[in-house]
């Protein structure tokens, strides 16, 4: 039987992906502004800050990337993707803004609104993608990993929904248990697993490296799921060690592959991958000790820097390529990737991000308020550079006149 | 040998040679760069020919899908050929920046193209065609 996914003509229009990639850096700016306000005026509202980053930035870019990658990597075509992406993107953006407002103000109406928008939009997108994937045979660890990651994502969201309902006083639950499950499922089962699954494919291909060990990449989705479940139902130092070891191995193997790469061209994206893996190593070393609140906060900071570095690396590759690819497919005069976003811009953004991320860790350890201010200023600048770079890239596509009758959709 | 294995190995061999050519451009060793790029281009075009002349027609005949994935693959081959010409021009004028820029587009185009082939088209071809016979026919055109 020929799967429907084999109809590769149905590459998603560029605007499906562009909308997610243009808005996510703005949530980075918003998270810096929130952190600034906490420095000036207490109290510190961790849920508002964390969800600005995890939903507005991470979930947005990851779902956007999946709209593009599903047909390419797994052969799962989402028919008529434009309105679906609009629903997904709008509900995510508005729902996240309402959730932040709800956390900050404590207004139940805002929380209810965010719950409806986020649960509606995220379940819709996750199920849409999950059921496309589940019908197809997974030929690679990447498509298998995406399947598992989307499954674990829906469980993680459900825990979040239940916790908001508990905050609204409509359900009674063991909040500690659901918080641990929410964190485990989303940080490890969704973010880490999805990044690792994509890395299994792109690290080897983009940088011409040796492949990941087959058994490791094949078993990775299952191992992540098993350890996340174990850590949810039997949370202990031992279960945290298992999760740590799994992702430490991934980080070490990725660094090893990058060191052995055959394309030696200086590339800021490789530096971002190294940086990301460095932060993942540090985060996972700390993870078993996160019972202590300060260590948990430092773990979140390191984990955020890991995810942000990898997301930047992927965004700066995906957008220029798609602009070139779609323009070239339409028969227009297509600029090459370096002309779409200049490597000098990406190098500059990388350096600003590097300073911001290290300053934030040093500020956390030394507890100097003035250092925090500098760190946040650099983060804000870095997010603005990212936003401008990606926007300029996207505009190179949108400003060109487009032919309607082309073989590939826009 | 399966079609997946045979053609995937060809992809990797082309990648290896491209990485060496790119390094030579980076070192501004233009003679070496020209020689390696020529080798890369020949290997890539031979690989395309094996697919376009042998694999795709057989796949289309067996499955009845003519305007589907094979058409997209042909279209991407044409895009890659355009970029190969751009790279060749950059080498002629010894323009490092232009070579690396067009090369980045080519690498990503080829890699995402390879992904689709290795994960969808080749496994399907193995399911529907006689793998050994196909590999034998493609080998007759030469080795990448």
Tens digit of each residue's pLDDT (9 = 90 or more) over A15-35: 999 999 999 999 999 999 999
Phi, psi for residue A327 in degrees, rounded to 5 = -65, -45
Q: Where is pLDDT greater, at A245 or B79?
A: A245
Between A405 and B123, the more confident residue is B123
Q: How many CB atoms lie within 10 A of CB A276?
A: 25
Q: What is the CATH number of the domain that holds B95?
A: 1.20.120.520
Q: Is the Cβ pair B101, A339 closer than 8 Å? A: yes
Cβ-defined contact of B23 to A324 (cutoff 8 Å): no
Within-domain flag for B144: no
Residue A160 φ/ψ region, left for φ over 0, alpha for ψ in the -120 to 50 degree band, beta for the rest: alpha
What's the pLDDT at A403?
A: 59
Could A321 and B116 be called an inter-chain contact, meaning their C-beta atoms sit closer than 8 Å?
A: no
Does B50 reside within a domain?
yes
- Length of chain A counted residue by residue: 410
**CA nearest A198 in B: which residue?**
B115
ipTM tops 0.85: no
Query: What pLDDT digit, counting tens, does each position of A122-177 carry?
Result: 999 999 999 989 888 777 888 899 999 999 999 999 999 999 999 898 988 999 99
Instruction: Give residue A372's Cα distance to chain centre.
Output: 24
- Alpha helix (H) residue ranges in A168-210: 175-183, 193-207
For residue B95, the chain A residues in CB contact (below 8 A) are none
Q: Count CB neighbours of B17 within 10 A.
A: 20
- Measured at the CA of A63, the angle between CA A192 and CA A154, to 5 degrees, comes to 70
Structural domain for B30, as ranges: 3-139
Residue with structure tokens 């990725």?
A254
Q: How many domains does chain B have?
A: 1
Take residue A79 and report the two structure tokens written for it: 């028919």
Residues 6+ away with beta carbon under 8 Å from B106: B18, B80, B83, B84, B87
Instruction: Among A208, A268, A316, pick the best mutation site for testing chain B contact (most B Cβ within 10 A).
Output: A208
* pLDDT of the residue at B116: 82
Query: Would you say B15 and A208 are in contact if contact means Cβ atoms under 8 Å apart?
Result: yes
Contact B105 A139 (CB under 8 A): no
Say yes or no to pLDDT of A409 above 50: no
B132 within a domain of the structure (yes/no) = yes
Q: Is the pLDDT of residue A360 over 80?
A: yes
Answer whether A167's CB lies under 8 Å from A179's CB.
no
The residue that leads in pLDDT, A195 or B67, is A195
Q: Is residue B63 part of a domain?
A: yes
In a domain, B52, yes or no: yes
When CB atoms are compared, the residue of A6, A321, A336 closest to B124 is: A6
Check B119 against A407: CB less than 8 A apart: no
For residues B7-16, one letter each, b for 16 or more C-beta atoms within 10 angstroms of the residue's C-beta and e for the rest, the string is: beebbeebbe
Q: Is residue B94 domain-resident?
A: yes
What is the residue whose two structure tokens read 């390419």?
A72
Residue B67 lies in a domain: yes
Do A321 and B109 make contact, defined as CB atoms within 8 angstroms?
yes
Interface list for chain B against chain A, based on CB atoms closer than 8 Å: 15-16, 18-20, 22-23, 26, 63, 65, 67-69, 71-73, 75, 79, 82, 86, 97-98, 100-102, 104-105, 107-109, 111-112, 114-116, 119-121, 123-124
Q: Which of A313, A290, A274, A184 is nearest to A237 (CA)?
A: A290
Residue B30 has a pLDDT of: 96
pTM over the 0.95 mark:
no
pLDDT per position as a tens digit, A49-94: 999 999 999 999 999 999 988 887 777 888 889 999 999 999 999 9
Whether A206 contacts A200, CB under 8 Å: no
Q: pLDDT higher for A8 or B116?
A: B116
Q: How far is B87 from chain A (nearest CA, A)?
A: 11
Report CB contact under 8 Å: A208, B116: no
Q: CB–CB of A314/A198 below 8 Å?
A: yes
- Assess if residue B24 is contained within a domain: yes
């Amino acid at each position: 039987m020929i799967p429907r996914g084999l109809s590769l003509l149905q590459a998603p229009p560029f605007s499906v992906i562009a909308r997610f990639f243009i808005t996510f850096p703005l949530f980075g700016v918003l998270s810096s502004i929130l952190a600034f306000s906490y420095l000036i005026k207490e109290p510190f509202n961790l849920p508002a800050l964390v969800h600005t980053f995890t939903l507005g930035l991470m979930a947005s870019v990851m779902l956007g990337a999946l709209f593009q990658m599903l047909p390419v990597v797994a052969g799962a075509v989402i028919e008529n993707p434009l309105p679906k992406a609009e629903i997904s993107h709008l509900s995510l953006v508005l729902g996240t803004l309402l959730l932040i407002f709800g956390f900050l103000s404590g207004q139940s109406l805002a929380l209810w609104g965010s719950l409806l928008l986020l649960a509606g939009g995220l379940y819709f997108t996750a199920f849409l993608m999950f059921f496309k994937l589940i019908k197809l045979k997974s030929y690679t660890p990447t498509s298998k990993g995406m399947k598992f990651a989307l499954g674990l994502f829906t469980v993680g969201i459900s825990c979040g929904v239940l916790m908001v309902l508990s905050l609204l006083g409509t359900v009674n639950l063991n909040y500690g248990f659901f918080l641990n499950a929410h964190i485990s499922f989303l940080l490890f089962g969704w973010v880490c697993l999805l990044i690792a699954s994509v890395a299994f494919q792109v690290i080897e291909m983009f940088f011409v490296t040796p492949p990941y060990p087959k058994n490791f990449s094949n078993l990775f989705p299952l191992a992540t799921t098993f350890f996340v479940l174990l850590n949810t139902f039997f949370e202990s130092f031992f279960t945290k060690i298992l999760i740590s070891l799994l992702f430490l191995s991934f980080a070490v193997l990725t660094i090893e592959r990058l060191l052995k790469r055959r394309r030696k061209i200086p590339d800021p994206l490789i530096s971002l991958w190294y940086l990301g893996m460095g932060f993942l190593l540090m985060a996972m070393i700390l993870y078993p000790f996160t019972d202590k609140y300060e260590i948990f906060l430092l773990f979140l900071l390191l984990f955020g820097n890991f995810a942000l570095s990898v997301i930047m690396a992927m965004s700066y590759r995906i957008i220029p390529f798609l602009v070139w690819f779609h323009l070239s497919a339409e028969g227009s005069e297509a600029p090459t990737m370096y002309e779409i976003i200049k490597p000098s811009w990406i190098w500059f953004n990388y350096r600003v991000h590097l300073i911001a991320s290290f300053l934030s860790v040093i500020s956390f350890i030394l507890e100097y308020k003035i250092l925090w201010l500098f760190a946040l200023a650099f983060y804000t600048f870095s997010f603005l550079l990212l936003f401008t770079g990606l926007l300029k890239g996207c505009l190179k596509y949108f400003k060109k006149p487009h032919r309607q009758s082309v073989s590939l959709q826009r | 040998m399966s079609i997946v294995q045979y053609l995937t190995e060809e992809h990797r061999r082309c990648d290896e040679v491209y990485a060496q050519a790119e390094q030579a451009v980076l070192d501004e060793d233009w003679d070496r760069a020209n020689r390696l790029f020529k080798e890369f281009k020949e290997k890539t075009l031979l690989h395309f020919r094996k697919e376009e002349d042998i694999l795709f027609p057989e796949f289309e005949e067996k499955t009845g899908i003519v305007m589907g994935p094979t058409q997209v693959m042909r279209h991407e081959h044409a895009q890659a050929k355009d970029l190969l010409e751009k790279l060749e021009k950059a080498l002629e004028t010894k323009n490092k920046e232009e070579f690396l820029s067009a090369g980045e587009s080519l690498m990503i185009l080829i890699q995402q193209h390879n992904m689709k082939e290795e994960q969808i088209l080749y496994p399907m071809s193995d399911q529907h065609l006689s793998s050994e016979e196909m590999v034998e026919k493609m080998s007759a055109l030469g080795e990448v």
